[in-house]
């Protein structure tokens, strides 16, 4: 591990100022569950670490309308166990519990979870070319090992996938990310925090240098009590999603039609993929298998699988349909 400077911030403004003074290689340090691993691998080589674990961002607070404000430093295990999270947004609690291990969830933070970097093997191996690490060096995954990589929204520059489970649930719920930067505070909608690779795959998010996530706000959604996170992975635990789905469904019980729906996919793109086409197809449709299959097909029509991951298209289709059927009680 290369030498680096360390500074513990006392408050958010101090953290932002400290990082802004540093070079582009400066990083915030929260739980460190992803960053420290990447430092060991040589993928990340920060010149400065600004420790933000002592900031006052460790609480979950109610918002008007039934929403919740989740502090950036709330540990994943605490968030998953919070009564309000479990009762109002079960999809979020389930997504958190589907990630990593109990020990890691005790360390991992809300902000750090959102800012995880891809687990693409080429990105993590500094002996291999990778456009995310060295722009212009190429993306060997396109012709190489891409079984678990993107089928939606990828580019010639990068076919990596975003690894967070929590981010998929937050994208489905339409969460807002509160950010403090050198220019003050602003809010970024989800989806919208993460970006597709395009020709700048080195940029995972729209955050600028010095930006610090201070909280995530989940708006009130009364019918999100009927929600679920389902994850398909290669191992029963401690494995990233091959495909996952976060879904919430509002069904008119009298007429049997879908009033509203929220749907997002994980393991299929460089971002948590909000399934807007599927949501549009569901609204006003009968809550039946046929409607759910049509919605899945509408979303996955844009899929462009690679040589070895076409199975993800049918897997995502079946996962969407099964999850919606369960939520509809069909």
Residue 273 sits in a domain whose CATH number is 3.30.390.50
Contacts 24+ apart (CB under 8 A), 63-66: 63/217, 63/218, 63/219, 63/220, 64/220, 65/219, 65/220, 66/220, 66/221, 66/222
Cα separation, 9 vs 224, in Å, equals 36
Is 263 domain-assigned?
yes
Is 96 domain-assigned?
no
Is 270 domain-assigned?
yes
> Would you state the pLDDT for residue 1?
61
Q: What is the pLDDT along the chain (330 residues), one digit of tens a residue?
A: 689 999 999 999 999 999 988 788 899 999 999 999 999 999 999 999 999 999 999 999 999 999 999 999 999 999 999 999 999 999 999 999 999 889 999 999 999 999 999 999 999 999 999 999 999 999 999 999 999 999 999 999 999 999 999 999 999 999 999 999 999 999 999 999 999 999 999 999 999 999 999 999 999 999 999 999 999 999 988 899 999 999 999 999 888 999 999 999 999 999 999 999 999 999 999 999 999 999 999 999 999 999 999 999 999 999 999 999 999 995
Cis peptide before 191 (omega within 30 of 0): yes
Mapped onto helix, strand or coil, the DSSP state of residue 172 is: helix
Is 80 domain-assigned?
no
Q: For tokens 């990310």, what's the residue?
A: 177
Contact assessment for residue 304 and residue 152, using Cβ atoms and an 8 Å cutoff? yes
Contact assessment for residue 15 and residue 52, using Cβ atoms and an 8 Å cutoff? yes
Helix 90-97 / helix 166-173 crossing angle, nearest 10 deg: 160
Is 25 domain-assigned?
no
Is 201 domain-assigned?
no
Cα separation, 119 vs 41, in Å, equals 12
> What φ, ψ does residue 14 adopt, rounded to 5°?
-65, -35
Decide the pairing of beta strands 48-51 and 5-8: parallel
Q: Which residues contact 6 (CB under 8 A, 6 or more apart)?
A: 48, 49, 51
Mapped onto helix, strand or coil, the DSSP state of residue 270 is: coil
Is 143 domain-assigned?
no
**Structural domain boundaries, residue 279:** 223-328
Total number of domains in the chain: 1
Is 251 domain-assigned?
yes
> Would you state the pLDDT for residue 153?
98
């Amino acid at each position: 591990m290369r030498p680096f400077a360390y500074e513990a911030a006392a408050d958010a403004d101090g953290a932002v100022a400290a990082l802004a003074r540093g070079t582009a290689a400066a990083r915030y340090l929260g739980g460190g569950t992803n960053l420290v691993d990447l430092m060991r691998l040589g993928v990340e080589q920060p010149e400065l670490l600004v420790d933000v674990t002592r900031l006052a961002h460790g609480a979950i607070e109610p918002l008007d309308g039934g929403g919740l404000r989740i502090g950036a430093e709330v540990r994943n295990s605490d968030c998953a166990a919070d009564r309000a999270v479990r009762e109002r947004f079960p999809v979020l609690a389930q997504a958190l519990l589907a990630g990593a291990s109990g020990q890691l969830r005790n360390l991992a933070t809300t902000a750090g979870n959102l800012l995880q970097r891809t687990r693409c093997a080429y990105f993590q191996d500094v002996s291999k070319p990778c456009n995310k690490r060295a722009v212009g060096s190429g993306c060997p995954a396109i012709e190489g090992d891409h079984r678990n990589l993107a089928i939606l929204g990828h580019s010639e520059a990068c076919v990596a996938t975003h690894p967070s489970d929590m981010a998929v649930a937050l994208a489905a719920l339409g969460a807002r990310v509160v950010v403090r930067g050198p220019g003050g505070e602003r809010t970024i909608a989800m989806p919208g925090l993460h970006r597709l690779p395009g020709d700048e795959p080195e940029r995972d998010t729209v955050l600028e240098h010095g930006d610090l996530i201070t909280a995530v706000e989940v708006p009130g959604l009364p019918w999100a009590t009927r929600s679920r996170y389902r994850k398909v992975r290669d191992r029963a635990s401690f494995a990233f999603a091959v495909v996952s789905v976060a879904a919430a469904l509002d069904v008119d019980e009298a007429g049997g039609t879908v009033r509203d729906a929220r749907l997002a996919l994980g393991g299929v793109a460089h971002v948590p993929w909000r399934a807007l086409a599927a949501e549009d197809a569901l609204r006003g449709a009968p809550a039946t298998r046929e409607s759910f299959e049509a919605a899945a097909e509408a979303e996955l029509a844009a899929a462009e699988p690679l040589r070895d991951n076409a199975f993800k298209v049918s897997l995502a289709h079946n996962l969407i349909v099964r999850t919606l059927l369960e939520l509809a009680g069909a």
